[in-house]
Amino acid sequence: RKEVEQDPGPFNVPEGATVAFNCTYSNSASQSFFWYRQDCRKEPKLLMSVYSSGNEDGRFTAQLNRASQYISLLIRDSKLSDSATYLCVVNILTTDAGNNRKLIWGLGTSLAVNP
């Protein structure tokens, strides 16, 4: 089983629609969680962190369910400019002696918002 799993999509939605992505992770020692956005042929950029209590940033809402080990991203009132790939990222504590952490990435969910 992959450490971080996402539905690859693509999700094709009309402008104004609400769309939700889920992501599951397997490492119960995961410490922090993020959604990154990647536009075509560009680098990934942080969209938002995911807090235990859930958090909202404008049209975007992120939720974390530690018991079920999944995180979600909800986009309301979709815009054409939301078309991108959304990457789920989990920060885990590594097993080396240095108390280091590393980011584990999902393969991404592709979203196309259509006029």
Partner 1 sequence: DAGVIQSPRHEVTEMGQEVTLRCKPISGHDYLFWYRQTMMRGLELLIYFNNNVPIDDSGMPEDRFSAKMPNASFSTLKIQPSEPRDSAVYFCASSLVPTTGGWRDTEAFFGQGTRLTVV
CA distance 35 to 33: 7
Q: How far is the CB of 105 from partner 1 (least distance, A)?
A: 4
**Do the beta carbons of residue 87 and residue 38 sit within 8 Å?**
yes
CA distance 31 to 102: 10
| Sign of the C-alpha dihedral computed for residues 96, 2, 30 and 39 taken in this order | positive
Task: CB nearer to partner 1: give 52 or 65.
Answer: 52
Cβ count within 10 A of residue 34: 19
Task: CB nearer to partner 1: give 32 or 69.
Answer: 32
Task: CB nearer to partner 1: give 45 or 79.
Answer: 45
Beta bridge partners of 84: 111
Task: CB nearer to partner 1: give 29 or 103.
Answer: 103
Is 66 one of the binding residues for partner 1 (CB under 8 A)? no
Is 101 one of the binding residues for partner 1 (CB under 8 A)? yes
Is 56 one of the binding residues for partner 1 (CB under 8 A)? no
CA distance 89 to 34: 5
Contact flags string 27-46 toward partner 1, x per CB under 8 A: ----xx-x-------xxxxx
CA distance 34 to 73: 10
Is 96 one of the binding residues for partner 1 (CB under 8 A)? yes
Q: Which residues bind partner 1 (CB under 8 A)?
A: 31-32, 34, 42-46, 49, 51, 87, 89, 91, 94, 96, 98, 100-108
